[in-house]
Chain A
């Protein structure tokens, strides 16, 4: 009875409450403590004394930490390679999958499987592909007359191998999103272009790409946000090796916190990553607010 008397905004607030509480407990509160912890340190000489206030010490330490810079650079390489890489491969797959197949499920499943596959599984499988003696990649290279490559023990090649695995794993999700975008393009546009004598390439450049722009943008942002956090695939493929060569910032944070148990420094690094990630997100939100805000009521 009383529930009916609630005004709509009050009922709405009530319904949003569980979500808000979960977000507060699992996201907002932890992020707040992250920044707080990042301003503390444990004295190695006297660990029993617990954490003490350290100010920005952890952040200045990061500034002088070669491994932090290296893992950040490595993450930047993964972003720079796999974001455009997955876009190009994903677009290719989407264009191929957009053919008029009579039976649709095999193609759909072959895009869904890489998406549903856990990242660690992909990492393990590609590690197996890139094994020196028994891997299929070197076998194919051999058949093509090339020398086998030490994929996982050279820093450059290991980075390349990790990038290939990430692009494979990420491109199918990209393709699914772009495919949905492709299917919203009216056929009549292509028919009109055909009548005007436009070539396939012109149609792609003048119709497909512009019409796909919103889908491409969303897909790129998703990929960028995910790429910043790259962890599972290099963890399973190289364990960060050889040495620390393929280690990402996320892996370094994990190691600092859980292996070295240095929560203060780990939190400072994680806070830095949070900032990197929010910079990318804010650009995205600015874009969606501009495009969504116009159509929405409130």
Chain B
């Protein structure tokens, strides 16, 4: 409105564009670079100077990625492990979050603190005894060897996220349900959980991504190739000394599809969950 308005809006718009481009290049460049690499041939790769865009794009690397290693099997393993551990984690955390937010519990803060402390235990110090435990139980190379630890791994953050959602449900609704003959636990599953569906959902996504990304335990508990999860399986494409980058890139791109879909569809929930778990934790 003032005579100065025009240059100011211009500046602001450039700043906004600049900001968007910097953030996007930072976030997407690695993925874009392996996408480009996955379309190149080995011979194009070793040329000097290196090419940026593939000269003769080929999908051959994707073919090889599917045949060189059982990548679909890795993906299925990851799905089973991440899916079941998420289900277990969400169920157990929902019960805990309900107890901690909707019931008059003694030592509530102490329990919360213990949960927080547990979430900070270094995984590597659990890895050694868990490996021994699973070996004694004969659970190595079974899904259970990962499902149980992964469920526990995400338990604290899921409990915190769900607790922050459960807190906001008016107690009257629950009371009304109980007057109508619902038990307390019935009220949890019929009133509290459905009303805080976004929170339950967010917790589930966080648990799923945590399990999907985990590497150390997956490397430790599963040494049979057919039981490898995706994060470990992807490292099997490299030889001892040779790194066939176009092939590895193609495998990485394939492996990225599920996780990209997940964050693209549920982006707002994920951001909300991350910050609820973080800021409130």
Contacts and interface: CB of A to CB of B under 8 A. Distances in A.
A48 interface: no
A134 B16 contact: no
A288 interface: yes
Contact of A298 (B107, B216, B268): B107
Contacts of B105: 8-9, 12, 298
A34 B129 contact: yes
**Chain B interface size range:** 35 or more
B124 A120 contact: no
Q: Which of A29, A179, A250 has the most CB of B within 10 A?
A: A250
B6 interface: no
A292 interface: yes
B23 A107 contact: yes
A274 B128 contact: no
Contact of A127 (B91, B215, B243): B243
A287 B230 CA distance: 38
A225 B121 CA distance: 8
A250 to B, nearest CB: 4
Interface stretch (A58-66, A76-84, A91-99, A201-209): A91-99
Q: Which of A18, A26, A111, A225 has the most CB of B within 10 A?
A: A26
15 contacts: A8-B105, A11-B185, A19-B93, A22-B155, A26-B148, A27-B118, A33-B132, A99-B16, A106-B24, A109-B27, A113-B27, A136-B50, A267-B128, A273-B122, A289-B109
B117 A31 contact: no
B26 interface: yes
Contact of A108 (B103, B232, B267): B267
B92 A18 contact: yes
A3 interface: yes
Contacts of B121: 27, 31, 274, 277
A296 interface: yes
A163 interface: no
Contacts of A15: 95-96, 98-99, 103, 185
Given A30-B130, A173-B274, A257-B131, A116 B209 contact: yes
B129 A285 contact: no
A249 B45 CA distance: 35
Interface string B258-278: 011011100110110011001
Contact of A37 (B22, B107, B132, B220): B132
B152 interface: yes
Interface in B141-171: 148-149, 151-152, 155, 159
Nearest to A92: B22
Contacts of A281: 117, 120
A218 interface: yes
Given A9-B103, A9-B105, A298-B105, A236 B249 contact: no
A119 to B, nearest CB: 6
A10 to B, nearest CB: 9
A236 B232 CA distance: 10
A45 B148 CA distance: 37
A288 B275 contact: no
A144 interface: no
A120 B116 contact: no
Q: Is the interface of A mostly helix, strand, loop or mixed?
A: helix
Question: 10 tightest CB-CB pairs across the interface, nearest first?
Answer: A110-B27, A180-B275, A30-B129, A12-B99, A96-B19, A15-B99, A274-B125, A118-B213, A270-B125, A12-B103
Interface stretch (A154-162, A186-194, A226-234): A226-234
Contact of A4 (B183, B230, B262): B183
**Chain A interface size range:** 35 or more
Interface of B: 15-16, 19-20, 22-24, 26-28, 30-31, 33-34, 37, 45-46, 48-50, 91-93, 95-96, 98-100, 103-109, 111, 113, 116-118, 120-133, 148-149, 151-152, 155, 159, 183-185, 209, 212-213, 215-216, 219-220, 230-232, 234-235, 243, 245, 248-249, 252, 255-256, 259-260, 262-264, 267-268, 270-271, 274-275, 278-279, 281
A110 B28 contact: yes
Contacts of A293: 109
B103 A107 contact: no
Nearest to B111: A16
Contact of A119 (B104, B213, B248, B255): B213
Given A23-B155, A298-B107, A133 B46 contact: yes
A69 interface: no
A141 B95 CA distance: 55
A226 B278 CA distance: 14
Given A29-B129, A30-B133, A113-B27, 18 more contacts: A26-B149, A26-B152, A27-B152, A34-B129, A97-B19, A99-B15, A110-B28, A114-B26, A114-B30, A118-B231, A125-B252, A128-B245, A128-B248, A136-B33, A181-B279, A218-B281, A228-B122, A257-B128
